[in-house]
């Protein structure tokens, strides 16, 4: 079967331009740092991702967009060494604090971005590269080739399915348009176009969080509306007052959402950089 001649990297660029311009700013992650890892661990994402990896004791692992060690810290006991890369000072400071508190000695912390020259940062070839929910790049194809260059055995990435963790009802209630990120199928199709036959599985969570009151709900949802204005906050508060439902003495959003992340992984094969260079 011949795949349609679609510029999947161009599709990715277009959606990223609409959705994720602010996500490339490290200042955003400075604010979200304290809460980021806690939410990932709360619904079992970390354990599921590591189980999919099936880590081996001789592995060296490159963790791109490591945040505060969401995966690096729990993965450390199962592998030989980890290079944890992230552009956020706040995230890396939290990782260093966790590393010292737990006496972890096999995590090397490096400040850096996808767009930088990793060789100049001293990042060599690792057995395995992971990019967990960190594909905040304009050039997806370039990022894949970079992963290929720095991984000798396997590569694991995870990315959005449908709307991802953000609830479009909340974003739109605040008065903003909802721009979903690029769905995993864009990533998968680009990989296939590059000659990479990847595996895909899904980490799913039925999301039904409850709150003490409207203010508790509002504060828990702030991360979905970056730098919410007073006017947007008033709109969202009014929406919550009208729509939250009481159950068992607490409040929740009506209905149940299933949040899915696609974990895409493949064994390392040589990829011709001239293939599918649309």
DSSP calls for 94-156: HHHHHHHHHT--SEEEEE--TTS-TTTTT---EEEEEEES----S-HHHHHHHHHHHEEEEEE
pLDDT at 255 over 90: no
Give the pLDDT mean for 19-37.
56
Residue 26 has pLDDT above 60, yes or no: no
Residue whose C-alpha is closest to residue 66's, from 48, 42, 93: 93
Phi first, then psi: give them for residue 196, nearest 5 degrees: -100, 120
Q: Where are the domains of the chain?
A: 8-169+179-206+258-267, 210-252
Give the tokens for residue 45: 């994402």
**CATH code for residues 8-169+179-206+258-267:** 3.40.50.150
Q: What mean pLDDT is reported for the chain?
A: 88
Q: What is the rounded distance in angstroms from the CA atom of residue 131 to the CA atom of residue 54?
A: 16
pTM over 0.75: yes
Mean pLDDT of 123-148: 95
Q: What is the pLDDT of residue 226?
A: 85
With contact defined as beta carbons under 8 Å apart, do 9 and 190 qualify?
yes
Instruction: With a cut of 70, say whether residue 99 has pLDDT above it.
Output: yes
């Amino acid at each position: 079967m011949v795949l349609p001649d679609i510029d999947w990297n161009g599709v990715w660029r277009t959606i990223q331009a609409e959705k994720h311009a602010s996500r490339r700013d490290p200042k955003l992650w400075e604010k979200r740092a304290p809460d980021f890892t806690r939410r990932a661990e709360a619904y079992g994402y970390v354990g599921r991702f590591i189980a999919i990896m099936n880590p081996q004791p001789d592995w060296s692992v490159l963790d791109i967009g490591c945040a505060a060690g969401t995966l690096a810290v729990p993965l450390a006991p199962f592998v030989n060494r980890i290079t944890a890369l992230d552009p956020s000072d706040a995230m890396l400071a939290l990782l260093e604090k966790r590393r010292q508190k737990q006496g972890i000695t096999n995590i090397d912390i490096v400040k850096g971005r996808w767009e930088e020259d990793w060789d100049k940062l001293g990042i060599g070839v690792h057995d395995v590269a992971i990019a967990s929910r960190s594909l905040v790049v304009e050039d997806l194809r370039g990022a894949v080739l970079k992963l290929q260059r720095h991984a000798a055995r396997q590569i694991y990435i995870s990315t959005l399915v449908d709307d991802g963790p953000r609830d479009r009802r909340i974003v739109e209630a605040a008065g903003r348009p909802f721009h979903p990120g690029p769905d995993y199928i864009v990533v998968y199709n680009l990989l296939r176009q590059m000659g990479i036959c990847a595996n895909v599985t899904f980490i799913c969570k039925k999301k039904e969080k409850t709150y003490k009151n409207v203010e508790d709900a509002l504060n828990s949802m702030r991360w979905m509306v970056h730098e919410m204005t007073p006017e947007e906050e008033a709109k969202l508060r009014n929406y919550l007052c009208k729509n939250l439902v009481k159950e068992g003495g607490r409040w929740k959003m009506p209905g149940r959402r299933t949040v899915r992340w696609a974990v895409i992984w493949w064994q390392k094969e040589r990829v011709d950089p001239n293939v599918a260079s649309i």
